[in-house]
Amino acid sequence: MEALIVLIVIVLFIALVVSKSVALIPQADAAVIERLGRYSRTISGQLTFLIPFVDRIRAKVDLRERVVSFPPQPVITQDNLTLSIDTVVYFQVTNPHAAVYEISNYIVGVEQLTTTTLRNVVGGMTLEDTLTSRDSINGQLRGVLDEATGRWGLRVARVELKSIDPPPSIQESMEKQMKADREKRATILTAEGHRESAIKTAEGDKQSRILAAEGAKQASILSAEGERQSRILRAQGERAAKYLQAQGQAKAIEKVFAAIKSGKPTPELLAYQYLQTLPQMAQGDANKVWMVPSDFGDALKGFAKNLGAQGMDGVFRYEPSTTDEDLPKPEDDSEEVADWFETKSDPTIAQAVRAAEVAARQPVESPGAPGALGKRPASGEQGSVAGGPVPGQLPPPDNA
């Protein structure tokens, strides 16, 4: 029985020795090993053998980057306002030996160092600078902490201000100020909008007036051009009409004198024609009294003697002069005045008329009945009669 107990004690002792002589350190961790109370070595990510009861692991250190959030700290600014600032520090242990032997608790040391450095930095800034200079504060804190913690075997990667909380009264004042600033910006933007709107409206009115003036100018020019063309056409028409009237009167006089010459009138016939004309002459409103001279017959007889020859019966009759046939005829100017009677419209005027007709016809046309106003005559058909005399012109005299 005693041998069994001794055997059990020996087995337990051997197990204890084996557990004390073998240590497995995972990756990203570091173990500081002491031998007889003094620093021996630092191992990481490997299996190591220890001398039982001589070597021991003093501390295990995490080599990964750590994120530590510190509670809010009261900080007084340069303008005597107390702020509550919450910080976050990102650091990593780069030297496990220094982190174990140079400071007892490097996390507490980082916290206290962060608090004192933050108070020094923010103490020289106003509230407005503190709220608007986060990056500057973060940079200053990181520089001071990285320099101070270097001898502790730490590397500070980043320092962030998680929150900056001013007192409630200051927050209320800031909210009022922000509200006033927003209202100010809104008023400015509204004024800018009204100004832009007024400018755009003025520009539009200006352009509208310019276009209206241009339109009135063009309308006046077109109206004057139309009036000029109208007067020219009327003058040309009046010229052609007067020419036709003169031509007709000349033909009529020529016919009358031809008839007189062929009829060989006597003084009695002239007297009879004169007596028939007297009532027509007396029909005027201004004609009141007509007096016939007593020697009117003698006057007609003398007229017949001068223009006629006495026949076998003693009556004076008109004899045509032998020189009448030798008199020069009026020149034929029909080719020179042919364009006076051209009734075709000028192409420019015809095009303007067509455009006006189309513009006048468009509002009244229905979709189901295009061209309801009728077909417009072609340019070649307008105002001309093919193969016929010009309207208003007398036919050529009959030579028969």
pLDDT > 80? residue 285:
no
CATH 3.30.479.30 domain position(s) in the chain: 66-166
pLDDT reported for residue 39? 84
21 closest CA partner among 43, 48, 59, 60: 48
pLDDT class of 322 with cuts at 50, 70, 90: low
Cα(270)–Cα(258) distance, integer angstroms: 16
**What's the Cα-to-Cα distance from 45 to each of 25, 40, 48, 60, 109, rounded to whole Å?**
5, 17, 10, 12, 27
Residues 44 and 31 sit within 8 Å (Cβ to Cβ): yes
- More confident site: 149 or 376: 149
Q: Which tokens sit at 93?
A: 């242990």
pLDDT > 90? residue 199:
yes
For the segment 10-28, the average pLDDT, to the nearest whole number, is 78
Least-confidence region, from 3-12, 81-90, 243-252, 345-354: 345-354
Residue 34's H or E segment, with its range, is strand 29-35
- More confident site: 373 or 18: 18
Cα(138)–Cα(120) distance, integer angstroms: 13
**Cβ-Cβ contacts under 8 Å for 102 (sequence gap 6 or more):** 151, 152, 153
Residue type, 319: E
Cα(42)–Cα(35) distance, integer angstroms: 12
The three-class DSSP label of residue 400 is coil
Residue written as token pair 């200053």: 140
φ, ψ (nearest 5 deg) of residue 23: -140, 130
Cα(371)–Cα(398) distance, integer angstroms: 47
Tens of pLDDT, residue by residue over 228-238, are 888 888 888 88
- More confident site: 319 or 361: 361
Tens of pLDDT, residue by residue over 340-377, are 666 666 677 667 767 777 776 775 444 444 444 444 44
pLDDT > 70? residue 394:
no
**What's the Cα-to-Cα distance from 293 to each of 109, 266, 272, 297, 298, rounded to whole Å?**
159, 20, 15, 9, 10
**What's the Cα-to-Cα distance from 334 to each of 243, 244, 246, 396, rounded to whole Å?**
11, 11, 14, 12
Q: Which CATH class is domain 66-166?
A: alpha beta
Cα(324)–Cα(275) distance, integer angstroms: 29
Tens of pLDDT, residue by residue over 160-190, are 888 888 888 887 888 888 889 999 999 999 9
Q: Which tokens sit at 369?
A: 């009945």
For the segment 207-215, the average pLDDT, to the nearest whole number, is 91
Tens of pLDDT, residue by residue over 84-120, are 888 899 999 988 888 888 888 888 988 898 888 888 8
Per the DSSP assignment, residues forming a β-bridge with 24 are 47
pLDDT > 80? residue 289:
no
From the number of C-beta atoms within 10 Å of its C-beta (0-12, 13-18, 19+), residue 275 rates as exposed
Cα(268)–Cα(210) distance, integer angstroms: 82
DSSP state string for 145-165: HHHHSGGGTEEEEEEEEEEEE
- More confident site: 310 or 192: 192
Cα(41)–Cα(319) distance, integer angstroms: 170
